[in-house]
């Protein structure tokens, strides 16, 4: 893992400060949008309004400039990690929590990320967590689940620090798998 001191050689101090502020703000906003969506869902349920969760996600997204699926994602992470848990694991980002949420031992993962503070001066990155913990195993029972898994994998590939050529090769291979599954070829 690269240390903060090595990164400081690459970026000017004013840019580093701005990026830190952006990261903190982005994380806070992601949780806040999720909290708002969850609260609106609860309020509509208490009022016995016939409003679906999806409609709430769409309404929240319309006012904050996010897709409803993004709002749903924020809401799922915010619901899983209430404020007191977020406070316990400050300064971890929303992305750390989103990654850890996929595991039963989420607290071990967050603890590991925090332990990096002493050594590197910052939490372990989500990329480092992926390298150590991998992706959670999913039970694959039919072609629909396999298709969902491959589609999910395609999204994850886009997040990896790969060169354009390698990313394109992997993406194309995964697309061929999707096409084979949808045609019923195994």
Per-residue pLDDT tens digits for 37-80: 999 999 999 999 999 999 999 999 999 999 999 999 999 999 99
Do 104 and 144 belong to one domain? no
Do 28 and 113 belong to one domain? yes
Where residue 65 falls (left for φ over 0; alpha for ψ -120 to 50; beta otherwise) is: left
Domain that holds residue 173: 138-186
C-alpha 145/C-alpha 147 separation (Å) is: 5
pTM assigned to the model: 0.68
Work out the end-to-end distance of the chain between its first and last CA atoms, rounded to an integer number of angstroms: 39
Do 156 and 83 belong to one domain? no
CB 182 within 8 A of CB 173: no
C-alpha 133/C-alpha 7 separation (Å) is: 24
Of the three residues 120, 137, 154, the one that is the final residue of a domain is 137
The total number of structural domains that make up the chain = 2
Do 180 and 105 belong to one domain? no
pLDDT at 59: 95
Do 115 and 167 belong to one domain? no
Do 94 and 169 belong to one domain? no
Do 8 and 89 belong to one domain? yes
Span 5-39, pLDDT tens digits: 777 888 988 998 898 888 888 889 999 999 999 99
List, in order, residues 6 or more apart from 3 with CB less than 8 Å away. Answer: 120, 121
């Amino acid at each position: 893992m690269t240390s903060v001191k090595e990164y400081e050689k690459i970026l000017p101090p004013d840019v580093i400060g701005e990026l830190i502020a952006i990261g903190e703000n982005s994380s806070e906003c992601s949780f806040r949008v999720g909290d708002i969506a969850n609260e609106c869902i609860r309020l509509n349920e208490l009022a016995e309004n016939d409003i679906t969760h999806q409609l709430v996600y769409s309404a929240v997204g319309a006012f904050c400039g996010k897709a409803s699926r993004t709002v749903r994602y924020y809401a799922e992470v915010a619901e899983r990690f209430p404020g007191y848990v977020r406070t316990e694991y400050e300064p971890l980002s929303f992305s750390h929590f989103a990654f850890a949420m996929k595991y039963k031992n989420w607290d071990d993962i967050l603890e590991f990320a925090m332990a990096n503070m002493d050594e590197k001066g910052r939490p372990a990155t989500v990329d480092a967590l992926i390298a150590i913990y991998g992706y959670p195993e999913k039970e694959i029972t039919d072609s629909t689940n396999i298709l969902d898994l491959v589609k999910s994998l395609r999204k994850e590939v886009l997040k990896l620090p790969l060169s354009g050529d390698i990313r394109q090769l992997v993406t194309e291979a995964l697309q061929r798998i999707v096409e084979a599954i949808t045609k019923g070829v195994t």
